[in-house]
Each structure stands twice: as structure tokens, then as C-alpha cells.
Amino acid sequence: MPLSCLTPMPVRRAARRPVRAAPAPLPAALALLSAALLLLAAAPARAQQPDTTARAAADTVLDELSLPREVSREVVELFNAPGTLRVNGSLDIAADREVQGDVAVLNGPLTVAGRITGRVVAVNADVVLRSTARIDGDLLVVGGVVEGRDEGYVGGDIRVYRQVLRVREEGDRIAVERGGADDDSWWRRRTRRARNWSDLRLVSARTYNRVEGLPILLGPSIRQETSWGRLSFDGYGVFRTADNFRWDSENVGHNVRAEIRAGERPGIAVGGRLFDVVDGVENWQLTDTEVGLASFFLHRDYRDYFNRHGGEGYLSLVAGEDVELRFGLSDERWASRRVRDPFTLFRNKQDWRANPVVDEGRFHVASATLRIDTRNDELDPWSGWYIVADYERGSGRDVLGALQQLAAPGVPTASVRYGRGFLDLRRYNRIAPSAQVNLRLVLGGWLDGDPLPLQRRFSVGGPGTIPGLDFRRTFGDEDVNQCTTEATRPVLGVIALCDRMALAQVEYRGDLRFDLNVFDDDDDDDEGMRLGAHTDATWVVFADAGRGWLVGDRQGELQFERDQIPSLGTFRTDLGIGLEFDPLGVYVAKSVSGPRQPANVFVRLRRRF
């Protein structure tokens, strides 16, 4: 770790304790170094610079772009702690009053003339210290200023952050508002817009892949806010660059969407969509951006694709801040896509991995999706639940099934009806001011009816699921990662063929800190120096376990009855460590179930989950 950000600070003195300055973050060069591998547009974190031009060195005033996440955590923890005196509004502590314990004030102001034996946190509030004021603990001010710091006594640290912290009240406690105006991350600043607009937009899609190259979207985008809700319309033509913009049905598509929304939270939305797009198989494993960057830079496409052409109508019900229920009904035609030869920055001479054939035909698809999100922050959560539960009911006629073609080429199946479920369950737990234990469980697979179409099946293995296992690799005699067999592998290759899948992930993470006492600080009369460094980096230790299986008559460890679950001893597992430099993470994972397999090094955009 570079030590150029170390800041010397005086040790406390007997009369009044000078307060050590908050340490500065790790230089943004580390983030830029990681971004050069995977992300051209990543912006480095802006360094914190203490503003001491008009103040003595006895306190810390930070005037940076956004409030550090660990400060938000500390504020919420102190405010909500049992025993804290919490006040929403102004609070005056008279000279003859003594408050035992901690004090938290929201909106304020807080005027102190008496004594507080604990710590003080002021949220979006100013603090005024009289000459008789005495605070035995730390003073933390967010979104305000401190007046009279040279008159009153503060036994601990004084830290002042200028940024307003957007919070919502939950009874007498507070929680950080997700996506609030205080979040000035570059990706959120870029997306802020006026309430009403009408644009002609030329944008690229979020993914770069081996069947489209870079999809370019061109068309109008309209938003209109009303007293009762919102109207929106997006009408894009899709132009695929894999064949230098050649104008034919393989390179041209469309994606048109219109929606009417009444209310916000709670609210209801009714919309429809017409589309001719390329969609991914197993989109849940990695984000579109991660897949696109890996394809463009490294010639590695971690997804398979098929074409969807049709229309959809949907109804969305939003219940409060955290819950959304969506119903959809579509009529669409599915078709296979062939591999093209788009340019990549590295390994451009190599051949792409084959894109598998899929079940082709016309399908009617009904879906119901429940989404519950109580995370305190969508991009950097440290508490709350995230749940996505989806049921899909599909039916098709005259379907050319990819597996059926092995036995009877060119003969369509009369009809197909299937039921498919998917559950992504995550729990984020803060166990200390700078430490988390996070859990994730993913279940998916066939529920009823005919076998799933090939493009609706599952697999595990690779950076999005069990990174200690290579993507699209078989290990051992029975392929519990993709569920391919000796019969399917020569014709279809190693692709996702599992009827069902289960994946469990756990991680322990903490903020990366450096703190060094050069001299003992216990004696008030001693002079000394403290070296400190704070970074925006996070260290992570993680473990993953999962596998897929087929449904049918029991055969070995690959195929099980519909009411059976494979034993835990057959699951593939790995262990790993990593460092995250917002927004990138660099990790190393080693398979435990396959000890002879080498460790894998991989990069993720933002967090693993």
C-alpha cells in the first residue's frame, strides 16, 4: 500500500486535547490501474482533503464530493444505538444540566452550555458550544458547522463533514435514503435529468458480445411528469456493429416501450413493449456491463444468446418503498443466433466460443415477479434484504427443440408447456462499524410441465457464481456444473443444460485501514506523532457452493427424481479473497472440491453481489 497519504497528527495535551485529523483515502491511481483492465469510463474516487484554511488544526473539516460510506454507517449506528438521547429539531442543554450518555440531533440546531458525558452526533444540524460547554466524548457533525469550538471543551475528536446526509425517519430512528441527492457518484450525477424532457438519443447498449458486437440504439425518448403520475416513451432502433453496420435483418432490430404510471410509492404502472432484440441466457450471473467489458478487452464472453421478436404487456404494482410486484404477458418468437467476429482489444486473432442453438418457435410467456428491496443502499449495501422471486409459465407450438433434434432432426414438437421458477435471496448484515457478513442463496429450475427450453436452463461455474471453477469447463465424470453428458457434448458443446440449480454464497468484508502509533499516547504530557491512512478500499473473504442437476429417473449423481435434492457432498465449492477499489474489485478464488485446479484471478465491476 502506498504510504504517501500518511498524515502526521499531534497527540493530545493535558489542557485540551488537540483532535487528530481524519486520514485521507488511498490515491485514486489504484482504482485507475484496475480500470485499465476492464473499464474505460470508470472515474477515480476524489481524494478527501481537509479544509483547514479558516480553522485551527485541532479539528477536521472535510469538503469532498460525497460523504464516505463508513461515516454514514457511524452516524446511523450512533443515532440508533440504545441509550442515545435522540432529538428531531432544536435542543438546548443549559449550563446547569448534565446529560449522561450519548446525544443525537437531527436537523437541529444543538446548543450546548452544560455537560454531555458521552458522544455527540449532529445530522444536518449546526452545533453551538458555549464557554461552559463540556463534551467528554467525540463530536461528529454531518451537514452542519461548529460554532464556539475555542470556547467549549471537547474531550474527544471533532469531525465536521459539509455534505448533507439524506435520511428517512423510521420511528425515532433513521436510515440512509437510497439514491439520495447527497450521493454524488459520477454515474448518478450523469443520470440526473429534468422532470420533463424529449430527446433524440444515440447511445450504446450496455453489453459488447460475440453475436452483435456493440449494439447502437437510436431513437426518441420522452418523459412527462403530471400531477397524478408520469408518462414515458422510448422508441429505439437497434443497429448491430458486428458486420460493419450491414443493413439486413440480422443486424437491425428495435425496442419500443411505452408506460403510464400513477403515483410513485405506492403506485401502479401499465405498459407495453415491442421488440426485436438479442437476449442473454442466464442474465443473473453477471451484469451486462461486466460481460461487455470482458468481451471487448479479453475476448471472453461469459454469456450465451438468442433472438426474441414480439410484444409484451405488463402491469406493475409498487407497494411502499421496498416492494414491487410485476405481471407480464408476451407473444414472441425465439431463434438461435450465430457467432460473428467482432473486434477485441486483446486476443483478437482467437476464435470465439460457439454460441449454442436454442429451442426455436413461437412462445406465449406469462410471468409474475416479486421484488423486495430493503437495502440501505443499492450500490453499497451494509444492511437489509434483497429478494427477487419469479415464476414463468411458457407455452409454444411447432417448436424445434434443440435436444429433440438429436433424435429426430427437422421434426417439430407439437406443443410445449413448462413452468420455471427462480429465487435470488440476499441478506446484508453489519456486525461492526466497518465489517459485514453477507449471505446469498440462488435457486432456479423446472417446476412442472414439459422439459425447459434450452435457453431457460441453468448452470454454475465462472466469475459470477463459483469463481474457483473455470467457466464452461467440465470436472470429473459427471458434469454437475452444466449437466452436459456424453450424448449432448459432441453435438451441443459444453452449455447450460441443468433442469435445476442451487447456489449459496457467503462473504465477510471490512474496510481497509492503516493506523500506527509512533509513540505511546497514554500520558497526556507526552508529545508524539500518530500516522494514519484511510482508504476507500474494502477487503473481502468469501466462499461459494453450488451445483446443477437433471430431473428424471435417478441416474448416478447427475439426475434425480423431481422431489429429490442432491447431497451436499456433491456440491462444487471454493474459497477466495479480494480487494475492492470502488468501483472495481480484484479477487483470487481457489476450488476446494477440485484441489488440483489452479487458483483463478478475476475482476468484477463493483461488488460480487
- DSSP 8-state secondary structure symbol assigned to residue 569: G
User: Are the C-beta atoms of 110 and 102 separated by less than 8 Å?
Assistant: no
Q: Which one-letter amino acid corresponds to residue 250?
A: E
Write phi, then psi, for 539 (nearest 5 degrees). Answer: -95, 150
Rounded Cα–Cα distance for residues 269 and 316 (Å): 5
Tell me how far CA of residue 146 lies from CA of 111, 122, 430, 591, in angstroms.
Answer: 10, 10, 30, 53
Classify each residue of 320-335 as buried b or exposed e, where b means 16 or more C-beta atoms within 10 Å of its C-beta: eebbbebebebebebe
Contacts of 522 (CB under 8 A, 6+ apart): none
User: Are the C-beta atoms of 214 and 244 separated by less than 8 Å?
Assistant: no
Q: Give the H or E element holding residue 187.
A: helix 186-191
Domain limits of the chain? 1-10+457-609
Closest by CA to 526, choosing from 139, 157, 18, 6, is: 18
What per-residue confidence (pLDDT) applies to 61?
53
Write down the H helix ranges in 396-466: 404-407
The neighbour count for residue 7, using CB atoms within 10 Å, is: 16
User: Are the C-beta atoms of 496 and 479 separated by less than 8 Å?
Assistant: no
Quick check: pTM over 0.85? no
What per-residue confidence (pLDDT) applies to 186?
42
Rounded Cα–Cα distance for residues 185 and 198 (Å): 25
Write phi, then psi, for 136 (nearest 5 degrees). Answer: -75, -30
Q: Which residues pair with 579 in a beta bridge?
A: 539, 586
Per this entry, what is the length of the chain?
Answer: 609
Cell numbers representing residue 364 in the block: 406465449
Closest by CA to 3, choosing from 590, 582, 535, is: 535
Tell me how far CA of residue 86 lies from CA of 89, 91, 110, 212, 316, in angstroms.
Answer: 10, 10, 12, 56, 38
Biggest CA pair distance of the chain: 93
User: Are the C-beta atoms of 6 and 26 separated by less than 8 Å?
Assistant: no
Which residue positions in the chain have pLDDT lower than 70?
1-66, 178-195, 513-536
CA 393 from chain center: how many Å? 28
What per-residue confidence (pLDDT) applies to 46?
33
